[in-house]
Amino acid sequence: MTMSVVIVGHIDHGKSTLIGRLLYDSEALPEGRLAEMQRLIEEYKKRFEFAYFLDSFEEEFKEERTIDTTRILFKGKNYFTVVDVPGHQEFIKNMLTGASHAQVAILVVSCVDGIQEQTRRHAFLVNMLGIKEIIVAINKLDMVDYDEPTFDRLRDDVSGLLASLGYGDNLFVPVSAMEGDNIYLRSQNTPWYTGPTLIEALDAIVPAEIVEKPLRFVAQDVYDIGAEKITAGRVESGVLRQGDELVFQPSGIRVRVESLRSFPDEIQEANAGDSIGIVVDGEIPRGNVGGHADSPPLASHSLLGEVVLLEGKLRQHDRFEIKCGARRVPCQVETIREEINSETGEVTATNPTEIGVNQAATIIFRTEPMVVERFADIPELGRFILARDGKNVGAGIVLETTQ
Ligand code: GDP
């Protein structure tokens, strides 16, 4: 099994050193790649900044979907890839476009400096991006003579921060990335610590995502090829097979899949991420989303989203267009529930009447019927872009939908 990990934390708290240590101790590095890895680790020092988060949306707005295939691999019982190298902007962009998804985050906190601004920001972002597992590495223990009370204090502080974001039961590992304590090797310097090493903690995580997700096929266009009508689209989640009966929303049309094409070949099944053509016994309107009758897509009229506003202001009752999957429909701000400081994750106002640029907020939107999913369930259809007058002004994820 391979899991993807993102390593976050305040600048200088030891992220790059930790990656170096993981690679070094795991001896997973292929021959001749050391120099390349060192370069990548340098790149990793670029901060995991909120600015990159914004950049990533700009890229997404241009519809540029570059996939960063550079991966660093280390291993315990399982294999781990470190996503987001080089450049953290890639990570956020890939998470939001669905190209990659980190299953676990390691939050590095220096025991010398404690919680800092980026510690908070990153924890907020990790939560917003739907990463359910966070392991906290309390680093630089060698600088405080492996002092247990220092570790305990920081564990309590960080625990409070994570609890405010809804995390509970996080593992805290006292480490020195520099010296290698409790990373792969159990340290003699921390006899007071009986928990797992960092690699043991990683190996113990069982990703929730292994469960097969329901099928969601987004119909993008219909082409007449010869005598056939072919609906081109993308399988966003689940598996689509020849012979499947599908229901499409919001139209409610039911069809049977007669054949599947991956041009020019005929195929039997298609998986998440595949762009294919299907021939069906009916006509599917563009932008409709199909699924199986036992877990069908549902058309929503309203959704609760967490939004980051990238331009202008957003006020109660404002009208926008919302873009999700292949659809763009009108929507209106019904209620702004909470204004959130996008750098700290703190709720700064309840029921404000407007929010400003670069602020985040939880908002209830009324929409024309469209298929969206909770980001936590099917992230591919759980992220959206807000547009006004043809211009993209914000982006967000779906927390809840209502039919
Ligand atoms: P990053 O900005 O989070 O990637 O931090 P770096 O990995 O670049 O580390 C910042 C500084 O802290 C460097 O000078 C490292 O050598 C030092 N450092 C990192 N981890 C440790 C550690 O466990 N112990 C000590 N003493 N220094 C460390």
Indicate if the pLDDT at residue 91 is higher than 60: no
Helix spans in 2-147 (H): 15-26, 34-44, 50-61, 88-97, 117-128
pLDDT at site 393: 84
The mean per-residue pLDDT over the stretch 245-272 comes to 92
pLDDT band at 321 (very low <50, low <70, confident <90, very high): very high
Contacts of 379 (CB under 8 A, 6+ apart): 98, 101, 130, 397
The mean per-residue pLDDT over the stretch 121-142 comes to 86
Q: Which of 96-110, 115-129, 308-322 has the lowest mean pLDDT?
A: 96-110
The mean per-residue pLDDT over the stretch 184-209 comes to 89
Q: Which of 190-194, 256-260, 380-384 has the lowest mean pLDDT?
A: 380-384
Q: Which of 31-45, 63-77, 331-345 has the lowest mean pLDDT?
A: 63-77
Tokens of 142: 């060698």
pLDDT band at 309 (very low <50, low <70, confident <90, very high): confident
Reported as a single tens digit per residue, the pLDDT across 47-57 is: 333 333 334 43
14 CA to centre of ligand 1 in angstroms: 4
Residue 355's H or E segment, with its range, is: strand 354-355
Handedness of CA 389, 390, 396, 397 (dihedral sign): positive
pLDDT at site 28: 59
Distance CA 313, CA 159 (A): 34
Contacts of 376 (CB under 8 A, 6+ apart): 130, 382, 399
The mean per-residue pLDDT over the stretch 326-341 comes to 91
The mean per-residue pLDDT over the stretch 102-106 comes to 83
Indicate if the pLDDT at residue 349 is higher than 90: yes
Ligand 1 close to Cβ of residue 182 (< 6 A): no
> Which atom of ligand 1 is the closest one to the Cα of 176?
23
Indicate if the pLDDT at residue 346 is higher than 90: no
Residue nearest (by alpha carbon) to ligand 1 atom 18: 14
pLDDT at site 27: 67
197 CA to centre of ligand 1 in angstroms: 19
Given a contact cutoff of 8 angstroms between Cβ atoms, the answer to whether 69 and 79 are in contact is no
Reported as a single tens digit per residue, the pLDDT across 132-173 is: 889 999 999 999 999 999 999 999 999 999 998 889 889 999
The mean per-residue pLDDT over the stretch 78-106 comes to 57
> Which atom of ligand 1 is the closest one to the Cα of 9?
3
6 CA to centre of ligand 1 in angstroms: 17
Cα dihedral: 160, 162, 166, 170 (round 10)? -100
> Which atom of ligand 1 is the closest one to the Cα of 175?
23
4 CA to centre of ligand 1 in angstroms: 22
pLDDT top residue among 183 and 2: 183
Q: State which of 178, 185, 198 you would mutate to test the pocket of ligand 1, scoring each by most atoms of that ligand within 8 A of its C-beta.
A: 178
CA distances from 262 to 271, 289, 343 (A): 12, 19, 44
198 CA to centre of ligand 1 in angstroms: 17
pTM: 0.61
327 CA to centre of ligand 1 in angstroms: 46
pLDDT band at 120 (very low <50, low <70, confident <90, very high): confident
- Count Cα neighbours of 306 within 13 Å in the Cβ-side half-sphere: 17
Packing angle, helices 88-97 and 50-61, rounded to 10:
50
pLDDT at site 343: 60
